[in-house]
């Protein structure tokens, strides 16, 4: 699991380590600076990284589903999640609404 050398991340890593040890699972941590981890994430070489997004001002609810949209792999879609049905659903949901034909009264 990738993590930064900050105190908060060290505390979280220790908690992960204790929790995994308690159930008999092995976990290794890759500690690096945030810019290095971001480069590795964009290159697709990180297995697991516990960073998070915060919502922007966009109010249509499309930001978070967009982070798992297949065509944005290695950009907003850091884990490279690609499944055809969710991608199709996201594409159709984010398409502009069709305009009504001009109707003369």
* pLDDT tens-place string over residues 38-48: 888 778 788 77
pLDDT value, residue 95: 61
pLDDT at 20: 93
For residues 2 and 37, the answer to whether their CB atoms sit within 8 Å is: yes
- pLDDT averages per 10-residue partition of the chain, 105 residues: 90 92 92 88 78 59 63 65 74 63 56
- DSSP string computed for 33-57: -HHHHHHHHHHT--S-B-------S
Predicted pLDDT at 104: 56
């Amino acid at each position: 699991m990738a993590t930064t050398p900050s105190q908060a991340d060290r505390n979280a890593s220790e908690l992960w380590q204790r929790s995994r040890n308690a159930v008999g699972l092995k976990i290794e941590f890759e500690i690096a600076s945030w810019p290095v981890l971001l480069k590795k994430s964009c290159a697709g070489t990180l297995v697991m990284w516990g960073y998070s997004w915060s919502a922007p001002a966009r109010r249509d609810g499309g930001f978070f589903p967009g982070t798992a949209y297949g065509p944005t792999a290695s950009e907003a879609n850091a884990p490279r999640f690609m499944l055809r049905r969710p991608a199709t659903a996201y594409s159709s949901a984010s398409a502009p609404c069709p305009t009504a034909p001009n109707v003369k009264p």
